[in-house]
Amino acid sequence: MGQAAEAFVGIGRIGFEGPATKNMLAFRHYDAEALVEGKPMRDHLRFAVSYWHAFRGTGGDPFGPGTMIRPWETDGDSLAMALRRVDVAFEFLEKLGVGFYCFHDRDVAPEGASLAESNRNLDAVTDRLAEHQARTGIKLLWGTANLFSNRRYVHGAATSPNVESFAFAAAQVKKALEVTHRLGGAGYVFWGGREGYQCLWNTDMKRELDHLAAFMQMAIDHARAIGFTGQFYFEPKPREPMKHQYDFDVATCVNFLRTYGLEKHVKMNIETNHATLAGHEMQHELEYAGLQGFLGSIDANTGDTLVGWDTDQFPTNIYLTTQVMYTILKYGGLAPGGINFDAKVRRESFEPVDLFHAHIGGMDAFARGLKIAAAMRADGAIQRLLEERYASWKSPLGERIEAGQESFASLEKAMLAQGEAAACTSGRQELFENVINTYL
């Protein structure tokens, strides 16, 4: 691994300078070593950069081609370029000071003319990734396979009506798992890609769901066979590219996993913009996964309230990051998961330095959300208000119901004797919201 030419010229290691700094290439809130609830910020947040957006994103959209200026991109989709790109990626990761990255197999290495050639390309790039990981200590948060771009996956991969699409996808995931394992990846993600449908008339849904479960079981079996003990994740998304995706939201995914007996092996990787597309707030999805024991990892981004698709914008809203970090702290943290910026700079933000502004902003927004959430927890005002709201359940009647000691008959008897239920108290939503604003 020779000394590569610097790609991000004039940009050094991004440091913590505190809220008062005027330097926009510095952190105001993310201080990796600073302790929050007794743990360094770096270990709470476990930030990762998405290889696909940061290093393969072109800025292309349905109305025009890519706009990104990336001076190092001189060699298209060649293997030589893929290898040099790894050097650029690690320069970026090191300068930014993140501990992790995530990739799809086809982000890092070009697809060849045959599966064998694709695997050889991936092996060559994996060697380079491993060298840089060893040199820098930067780790792979999770790996995954791109089972949606190639034409063979036009009808889906694990849920394709074409059995050989399924078989090819299996071979691809086998290899992606082996590469993830080789790189010491902490996890492996299944995102549905084209696993869903456009038209129910031409779709055998039961069969497709059975196939998806069988596919995941084969992945789990192969992981065991090669000694990969990382966490598997299922990433919910309701639509796009398909009209209806089988991994619609957390509740749908949990039900799928339990139906097929996969729940011991797979947790959720929850993405903000996917939650909002499903008609949920991110906090709802996190809460539901947390209470079910499925909170795994998050894909940090945001949508746009005025745009109804997956815009994958960088998160900058402190209210959102506070909600996210409050719920994550409540459920004991994310590790071995982390916060992966599945986010892309806007088509109009085409200079390399914009990659830094985007990630710095996202990291600072999450660091600030973490500090605010920890302050809320230390103070306990929200928790006290919540307990007050449910105080009636601390009565002998409430305790007996929660202990399973009452029945419809016994409750009818009590209410007949009383004639009417005690009056409800105010929900105080505005008070709760005002209290939260006192921390922001």
- Reply yes or no on whether 280 is catalytic: no
Residue 364 touching ligand XUL (CB under 6 A): no
Residue 342 touching Co ion (CB under 5 A): yes
Q: Which two tokens stand for residue 300?
A: 């940090």
Shortest Cβ distance from residue 331 to ligand XUL (Å)?
21
Select from 87, 271, 287, 364 the one that contacts Co ion (CB under 5 A). Answer: 271
Distance of alpha carbon 323 from alpha carbon 433, whole angstroms: 12
End-to-end C-alpha distance for the chain, whole angstroms: 47
Catalytic position from the list 87, 105, 107, 364: 107
Closest to 334 (Cα-Cα) out of 138, 187, 185 = 187
- Reply yes or no on whether 284 is catalytic: no
- One-letter amino acid identity for 428? R
Half-sphere exposure of 19 (CA within 13 A, CB side): 4
Judged by CB, which is closer to ligand XUL: 31, or 342?
Answer: 342
The partner in contact with residue 237, picked from ligand XUL, Co ion, none with C-beta cut-offs of 5 to 8 angstroms by kind, is ligand XUL
Residue 271 touching ligand XUL (CB under 6 A): yes
Catalytic position from the list 29, 44, 53, 104: 104
Shortest Cβ distance from residue 437 to ligand XUL (Å)?
31
The backbone region for 101, taken as left when phi is positive above 0, alpha when psi lies in -120 to 50, beta otherwise, is beta
Residue 84 touching ligand XUL (CB under 6 A): no
Residue 237 touching ligand XUL (CB under 6 A): yes
Distance of alpha carbon 36 from alpha carbon 45, whole angstroms: 11
Judged by CB, which is closer to Co ion: 107, or 342?
Answer: 342
The backbone region for 383, taken as left when phi is positive above 0, alpha when psi lies in -120 to 50, beta otherwise, is alpha
Residue 144 touching ligand XUL (CB under 6 A): yes
Quick check: bond before 336 cis, omega within 30? yes
Residues in binding contact with ligand XUL, number by CB under 6 A? 10
Select from 87, 105, 235, 247 the one that contacts ligand XUL (CB under 6 A). Answer: 235
The partner in contact with residue 189, picked from Co ion, ligand XUL, none with C-beta cut-offs of 5 to 8 angstroms by kind, is ligand XUL
The partner in contact with residue 68, picked from ligand XUL, Co ion, none with C-beta cut-offs of 5 to 8 angstroms by kind, is none
Shortest Cβ distance from residue 191 to ligand XUL (Å)?
4
Residue 285 touching Co ion (CB under 5 A): no
Select from 107, 247, 299, 364 the one that contacts Co ion (CB under 5 A). Answer: 299
Dihedrals φ, ψ of 231, to 5°?
-85, 130
CA quadruple 276, 278, 280, 282: dihedral sign = negative
Residue 249 touching ligand XUL (CB under 6 A): no
Residues in the chain: 440
The helix, strand and coil proportions of the chain, stated in percent and rounded to the nearest 5, come to: 50, 15, 40
Residue 247 touching ligand XUL (CB under 6 A): no
Select from 138, 189, 250, 325 the one that contacts ligand XUL (CB under 6 A). Answer: 189
Q: Which stretch binds Co ion (CB under 5 A): 22-30, 70-78, 271-279, 281-289?
A: 271-279
351-369 exposure pattern, b = at least 16 Cβ within 10 A, e = fewer? ebebbbebbbbbbbbbbbb
Residue 153 touching ligand XUL (CB under 6 A): no
Residue 299 touching ligand XUL (CB under 6 A): yes
Question: Binding mask 3-42 vs Co ion (x if CB under 5 A, - otherwise)?
Answer: ----------------------------------------
Question: Binding mask 317-346 vs ligand XUL (x if CB under 6 A, - otherwise)?
Answer: -------------------------x----
DSSP codes of every residue in 213-276: HHHHHHHHHHHHHHT--PEEEEE--SSSSSSEETT-SHHHHHHHHHHTT-TTTEEEEEEHHHHH
* Gyration radius of the chain over CA positions: 24
Closest to 370 (Cα-Cα) out of 329, 325, 406 = 325
Residue 194 touching ligand XUL (CB under 6 A): no
Residue 87 touching ligand XUL (CB under 6 A): no
Residue 105 touching ligand XUL (CB under 6 A): no
- One-letter amino acid identity for 84? R
Q: Which stretch binds Co ion (CB under 5 A): 239-247, 250-258, 269-277, 416-424?
A: 269-277
Residue 107 touching ligand XUL (CB under 6 A): no
Judged by CB, which is closer to Co ion: 91, or 285?
Answer: 285
Dihedrals φ, ψ of 189, to 5°?
-105, 135
| Cβ contacts of 353 within 8 Å, gap of 6 or more | 8, 11, 25
Residues acting as catalytic residues: 104, 107
Residues that bind Co ion (CB under 5 A): 271, 299, 342
Residues that bind ligand XUL (CB under 6 A): 104, 144, 189, 191, 235, 237, 271, 299, 310, 342
